[in-house]
A and B are shown apart, each in its own frame.
Chain A
Amino acid sequence: MNAIPPEPLATAPAVRQSPMRLALRRFLRHRLAVAGLVIVVLFVLGAALAPLIATADPNATSWSAIRREPSATYFFGTDENGRDVFSRVIWGARASLAAGFLSVAVALFIGVPIGLLAGLAGGWVDALISRIADAMLSVPFLILAIALAAFLGPALENAMIAIAISASPVFVRLSRGMALEANATDWVEAARALGNPPWRLGLLHVLPNIIPPLLVQATLSIAEAIIAEASLSFLGLGQQPPAPSWGSMLNSAQRFLTQAPWLAIFPGLAIFLVVLAFNLVGDGLRDALDPRSEKR
């Protein structure tokens, strides 16, 4: 066999560049997204370390300190039962973040395999799955979550299940579309020509390639899920009293909007901040993971 001249090494960059590492570098250049990530991390830390950070028992009532204004003792004031609002906001982050992360994780777990199946199997399987997803998407997200939560009964776990189910059709549709797109590429045909069975094609070839858009959508869905949890709790369908949740705090605050606005301001601000932060992270991820910018 003729000796083939080895290709010069010079054409390849010196540092190994995985697609993920390149994306990370682009993400870190995105200042707002990094700010969003910092806020998310702070909230997560706050929720995880709630017992250490909270200045008081979030459920301890005090008849001597009812609806106190924010002060050095009560950073965010106290509520109508004399409970420390700061501590309740910190503990309430647990309900909100748990609802955000867990329900979206479950939604991914339900939606992605079903979507991949629809996209790769095609035919009547695809038609059936797509019609069901369309039917679910035709009902507004929050309305569907409220209906499911009401059906399951008022509890934080049930609210999370309801949110997970309502959020899953988005992932079905997204992963189906991406699977269809991937299916038309040469590299999927090549994988098939190599003798890959369908499950390997879906899990080892298509799935890794659709993770970027799924990650972006998941981040945005977490923001939606947090709003949904707050809304369900506001309606009494989520976190049950006396356990703290931003949504239920807003509910009890509405009666005192003029006398004690801090009851609404701080949990509202918490929801606003965390939702904004997740949206910023999602936008940053989208820019960082966009395949069109991959070559840069």
Chain B
Amino acid sequence: MMLALEDVARRFGTVRAVDGVTLSVAQGQVLAVVGESGCGKSTLGRLALRLIEPDRGRIRFAGEDLGKLSPRALRARRRDMQLIFQDPFGSLDPRMTVEQAVAEPLILHNIVPRAKVRERVAEMLTRVGLRPELATRWPHEFSGGQRQRIAIARALASGPKLVIGDEPVSALDVSVQAQVVNLLQDLIRDLGLTFILISHDLGVVRHIADRVAVMYLGRIVEEGTTAAIFTAPRHPYTRALLAAVPGQGGGAPPLEGDVPSPSNPPPGCHFHTRCPFAEAICRVESPALEGGVACHLADRLPPAVAMAEAEPGGARLARLQEFFKDGARA
């Protein structure tokens, strides 16, 4: 396992952002963590890299317990695990040129000799589809898509094994999204990256993930292969999430009510307040994640309607991707 989380939890004040998550990613795998905003998926990403300290639980990275590393050892380890942020306008230091930003991980971890840094930066920029001549410019001179490419070049410069993308395309224009998704897919394949995609865009998730974990109020409610999650979702929340994709309709009853406050989650199964199937036991006992699903009634629920193969988001994305591939050939 490249990364394994065991019963990881973190509170902020009274908010239980992440409430006991056990999850693992194998080497070379793309795992998507999906859920509504506020479900704790971004916090989970930062906990996995120990950018935030967990209250409890263990994080193993390539077999090593991250919690036991000294600050210095942890910093040295960061060359192998990187993060791509959602907002490309916020994640680049405004007073650093592109070259300085991409060179930083190279210098910090002594990846290449000083004399070769410039060359390597040019290589990385070319790799993400930017002209190396742009290296002397400042972040404010670029568009969102270009900035995100710079952030990707920076994240990959040290040659990490694990990369976490925290909604890496959701702040971009739809046309640019497709380009950046293409780029990420190419890089994952060519560099053999282990990738955790934190996203709420199920179209993108279906497109690039091998496995999917569904989060609700700080807990994983269902986990499985992308095909299984999309064609045979078992947890009522997963079904509702898939049904909520625009144009999908009918697959499952729509969700009623709002997400309960994470500082005062309902007892028992967190989802029972909005679950159309909820029974007495759901209000009392919290279901464990067994066989990939955390639901007392998983075995008794009616079979789910599979999400249509050509769901609108995916089709739109696929068309755009095709368009840009053609553009490259022309």
Contact = CB atoms under 8 A, between A and B. Distances in A.
Contact of B328 (A5, A9, A18): A5
Contact of A12 (B82, B134, B158): B134
Contacts of A197: 72, 75
Nearest to A2: B186
A294 B140 contact: yes
Nearest to A208: B95
A6 B325 CA distance: 12
A5 B85 contact: no
B82 A193 contact: yes
Contacts of B141: 12-13, 17
Interface string A184-212: 01110111111111001000010011000
A7 B137 contact: no
A200 B78 CA distance: 15
B143 interface: yes
A186 B95 contact: no
A194 B137 contact: no
Contacts of A9: 131, 133-134
Contacts of A209: 93-95
A7 B176 CA distance: 11
A179 to B, nearest CB: 14
Nearest to A7: B146
Contacts of A60: none
Contact of B136 (A16, A193, A195): A16
Given A17-B141, A185-B90, A5 B82 contact: no
A11 B147 CA distance: 13
A19 B95 contact: yes
A193 B138 contact: no
B183 interface: yes
Contacts of A195: 75-79, 105, 108-109, 158
A72 interface: no
B93 A19 contact: no
B146 to A, nearest CB: 5
B140 A295 contact: yes
B91 A190 contact: yes
B186 A187 contact: no
Interface string B297-327: 0000000000000000000000000001101
A100 B151 CA distance: 43
Nearest to A182: B93
Given A1-B190, A6-B129, A191 B143 contact: no
B94 A193 contact: no
Interface string B42-64: 00000001010000000000000
Nearest to B141: A12
Nearest to B90: A186
A292 to B, nearest CB: 13
A7 B129 contact: yes
Nearest to B149: A7
Contacts of B75: 195-197
B75 to A, nearest CB: 4
Contact of B182 (A2, A13, A18): A2
Nearest to A11: B143
Interface of A: 1-7, 9, 11-13, 16-19, 185-187, 189-197, 200, 205, 208-209, 294-295
Q: Which 3 A-B pairs have the closest CB atoms?
A: A4-B129, A195-B78, A186-B90
Given A6-B131, A195-B78, 17 more contacts: A1-B190, A2-B182, A7-B149, A9-B134, A16-B137, A186-B90, A190-B83, A190-B91, A193-B49, A193-B51, A195-B105, A195-B108, A195-B158, A196-B104, A197-B75, A208-B93, A294-B94
